[in-house]
Amino acid sequence: MKALLLALTLAGAVQAAEPVPDAQAAYGQALAYRNGTGVAPDAALAARWMETAARAGLPQAMFTLANMLAAGEGVARDEAAARRWLEQAADLGHPAALQELALREPDPRKAELLMRQAAHALQHVSN
């Protein structure tokens, strides 16, 4: 099987997969484009890099992408997608995402639970 894949790759029938950037590196690139640090500011490129970092599992990138989607910063405004990314970040214990979900929660009991989770997560954040 490996020999067949190698032969097909050498023949140009199969393209090698493009390497996926490291989540932290993608996040740094996103911030550089978002803030114009060392590069010209570019909200669309910032959003693309932020999504790469979010898809790679970085909670801070998920939270930031949610905010970008909610504001339409570099992307079309999309509240539903923003909510999904916010929930994913919260599921990973991101304190600000938990707090934001609590503020949006209409059920006071659920909101209180989310705030407690946010406070707990904040105590365990390592810098």
Superfamily of domain 20-123: Tetratricopeptide repeat domain (1.25.40.10)
Rounded Cα gap, residues 6 and 10, in angstroms: 6
The three-state DSSP-derived secondary structure of the chain is CHHHHHHHHHCCCCCCCCCCCCHHHHHHHHHHHHHCCCCCCCHHHHHHHHHHHHHCCCHHHHHHHHHHHHHCCCCCCCHHHHHHHHHHHHHCCCHHHHHHHHHHCCCHHHHHHHHHHHHHHHHCCCC
pTM of the model: 0.76
Does the structure show a pLDDT above 50 at 10? no
Please write the tens of the pLDDT for every residue from 43-65: 999 999 999 999 999 999 999 99
User: Mind listing the pLDDT tens digit for each residue in 93-115?
Assistant: 999 999 999 998 888 998 888 88
